[in-house]
Amino acid sequence: MKINNNCARKILLEVEKIPFGETLTVANLQKKITDFSIEDIRAIVTLFNKEHYLTVLDKLSYDENEVFSDHKIKGLTEKGYKAFDLIKEDTIWNLMKEKLNNFDELSIYTILNIANKIMNVTHNELFDLPRDLFIENSRW
């Protein structure tokens, strides 16, 4: 199944809003972002759970089986927050959508990698660092 990058970002936006100690079912997540089907949302939540971007509570706990609509999302992991930080701002997201002709064809991981590079360049320019001191890191 092809992952919709806009859906992936919206999922991260909504999961970040979950108050500490509370959960959100996948079905209720879909009610918050009705632009996308429950199948799209389940596929992305499953992927993000397997890649440790968010934590899903289920009866099987650490099992990496598919996420279902009644499973509860606990929140973002540290890795998830780092990735989300890269695409949280509309300016960076919209810049990538505008400049990348194949934006919809790229994987969410490629989008995160590009956003990381944009953030590094932006921070280096902001602090007027010499080119040989450019901050190169993989924040996510």
Which one has a higher pLDDT value, 2 or 16?
16
Task: Give the tens place of pLDDT for each residue, 50-87.
Answer: 999 999 987 554 455 677 878 899 999 999 999 999 99
Q: Tell me the C-alpha to C-alpha distance, in Å, between residue 111 and each of 26, 30, 69.
A: 24, 23, 26
The whole-number pLDDT of residue 140 equals 47
* Burial grade of 33 (CB within 10 A; 0-12, 13-18, 19 or more): middle
Residue 10 and residue 30: Cα distance in Å, rounded? 10
Residue 130 and residue 55: Cα distance in Å, rounded? 40
Task: Give the tens place of pLDDT for each residue, 89-129.
Answer: 999 999 999 999 999 999 999 999 999 988 887 766 666 66
Its pTM stands at: 0.82
Residue in the block written with tokens 């927050």: 81
The whole-number pLDDT of residue 122 equals 77
Are the C-beta atoms of 88 and 105 separated by less than 8 Å? no
3-state DSSP assignment of residue 78: helix
